[in-house]
Structure formats: structure tokens, C-alpha cells
Amino acid sequence: MTAVSGHGAWPGGERDVLEAQQTVLGDLADLPTGVDAVPFLTQLTARGPGAGPTGRTGALLAGMPVEIGPHGWKLADRPGADQRRADALRGEDLAALAVAAHGYAGPLTLEVTGPWTLAAELWSARGDRVLADVGARGDLALALAAGIGEHLAELRAQVPGVDAVVQLAEPLLGQVHAGVLPTFSGYSRIRGVDGPGVVDGLRPVVEAVHDAGATAVVHLGGTWVGIPPAVLAGADAVGLDLSALGNGGWNERAWELVARATERDVALWAGLPPATVSRCAGPQLGELVRLVAEPWRRIGLPAAGLTGLTLLSAPRTSAASVDEHRAGLANLGRVAENLSERAAA
């Protein structure tokens, strides 16, 4: 069956953690019959340093402490208050999940920043981006692999029946590959990483996810050029924001890569934008259905394969309300129902 899930980011403050997790689990449990739900660990990023994706994932790095520097999160000589704050927030989230998902058995996804995007966003203790140092970025991938294994152990300690799915968010992978990210000075660019190098950086993290008994999804945002490296690294699925492809979601080269991935049993997690709302007719869900179904048919993929899709709400701005997030999940449920019916026709 076509499934619905989401990214971890969710609006709210310190007091909203449990309510947010209960809301997600409750809303996904109410999806239409015939649609699978994949709940997710909520991340209330507005809680301050350590709650956002870079600090949250950086704090997972085994043996590589992080702290906040002048330009953002950077590697540190020793763990400090910033890392303790990030660790504490993660602990709060897992404790809330343990209450909200008491007795739950089934899939649940958690999102962490992937090794290449993290290497691009983290700064060295006394230098440039970690990405600029071949040795440091290799160490970072291994430290992240170990940290994710520990994070999954924490997750299962709180919810023993969970079938874990890890979304590795890699929105900067295309820029890493193209060599367009600026150095610390801004006067030059960090050398691009070739395809085999990208695979080598992803592989230890994907393997760590598998070794921990979890499913690995490499979410690329709109960076469709990252599909082949993700597949070669062993990902079980690739995530792609379809609206970022332009032209109504149609990009022939991108969809050819999606088709090749599906032929290797690598699933697609399709990110969809918020539905356009008409004052007369309400959400225009037909637009979202077409964003998926028309390119799928046009590239020659079988309609039955639509049941293997997982739909995601594309990342929203921090200003989006809880009601907007909830409406997005409900709309995806109706879109998934329509796609399932097409698959069965």
C-alpha cells in the first residue's frame, strides 16, 4: 500500500514535545483505509541551539564533540554545554515518544543529517568546513555511523516494538558534488567530490543503519543527481522533493534515475508541496496526485508500483503552524488513497 510519513521538524516550544508526538501518532493512525502510516520522531526545532538538524546530528558524532562557534556549529576539543543541551533535547524527545507510543509496534522514522551535508555545515575546530579536509570528513562519516547505531539503541529502549527507518537528509549533496560551496574566506570554492567519493562517504553510514536492523532512506531534497550514489551506497529508498524538479514535477533525466532505482528494488519517498487551497473547492489534491502519477506513467513505470511509494510533506518554513502541518498529513493520506486506487485499477 502507498504510505504516508513526514520529516521530523514540527512547530512548538519546550512544553509542546509530548503533545506534538501524540498528535503525529494520532493523525497518522486516522489515515484512510488502505494507506500505510509511517510515524516519525518529532523534532521541535524552535527550542533553540541543539534542536536544529545540524546541532542535533552533530551531537550524535561518536568521539567528535561539537559546539557553537562564530559561524555555526563546529568541532570542539571536548564536550561542553552546547553538546549537553543537544543531548538533553534528544532525550526529551525520546522520553515523549515512549509515552505517546506506549505499546506501539510498527514502522517509525527518525531523521538525521547525512554525512555529506553535515560535513558541509560543520566547521573544523580551527579552520574551514569539515568538507575541505578529506581525512576529517572520513572520520566524521565513521563517527556518524557509530552515533546513529547508539541513537537507534536508545530509540528501541524506549519503544521496543519499533521497526526503525532512518532518513539521512542530504540536501547539500549536489553542491558538494559540484564543488560550489565557498571556503571560510569566501574567495574560493571547496573542491567537488566525485561520484565514487560520494558513495564512499555514504556507505559506512548506510551500513551502520542496516547493521542496527533499520531501513536507510537517503533523502536528497531536489538533488536528483544524488540518486545513483545513494543506490550504490546501499540505500533502501531515495527521497526526492518532486516540486523541486520543475515543470510540473517532470524532469526526464531525474525520472530515468528513479526508474533505474526502482528496478533495483530501491523505493521512492516522494516529497510533495502543500496543496493549493481554493476558497470554493478546498485543497486541490488532484494537483498533488498528478505530480506523482503523470511522471510515473510517462517514464513507463507500472501503475502497480505506486503501492511502493511513501509520500512526504516537503519541508515547511518555521512559521508554519501545527494546523498547517496536520492538514498536510491529512491531505497526503487522501493523495495516497487515490494513488493506491490507481495502482489497483
Q: What is the pLDDT of residue 279?
A: 66
Provide the pLDDT confidence category of residue 151 given band limits of 50, 70 and 90: very high
Residue 309 above 70 pLDDT? yes
Q: Does domain 3-344 have CATH number 3.40.50.11810?
A: no
pLDDT in tens, 245-294: 988 889 999 999 999 999 999 999 999 999 887 666 568 899 999 999 99
Question: Residue 113 forms beta bridges with which residues?
Answer: 169
Q: Which of 89-103, 140-154, 271-285 has the lowest mean pLDDT?
A: 271-285
Which ranges constitute the DSSP H helices of 212-284?
227-232, 252-263
For residues 13-42, average pLDDT = 93
Domain boundaries, given as residue ranges, for the chain: 3-344
For residues 204-229, average pLDDT = 96
Q: How many CB atoms within 10 Å of residue 157?
A: 10
User: If 0-12 CB within 10 Å is exposed, 13-18 middle and 19+ buried, where does residue 237 land?
Assistant: buried
Q: What is the pLDDT of residue 281?
A: 59
Through-space distance between the first and last CA atoms of the chain, rounded to whole angstroms:
13
123 and 72 Cβ atoms separated by less than 8 Å: yes
What is the average pLDDT score of the chain? 93
305's torsion region: left (phi>0), alpha (psi -120 to 50) or beta? alpha
For residues 216-229, average pLDDT = 95
Q: Which of 12, 8, 11 is nearest to 113 (CA)?
A: 8
Lookup: cell for 74: 563546529
Q: Which of 144, 35, 148, 161 is nearest to 97 (CA)?
A: 161
275 and 283 Cβ atoms separated by less than 8 Å: yes
Q: What are the residues whose beta carbons fall under 8 Å from the beta carbon of 102, sequence distance 6 or more?
A: none
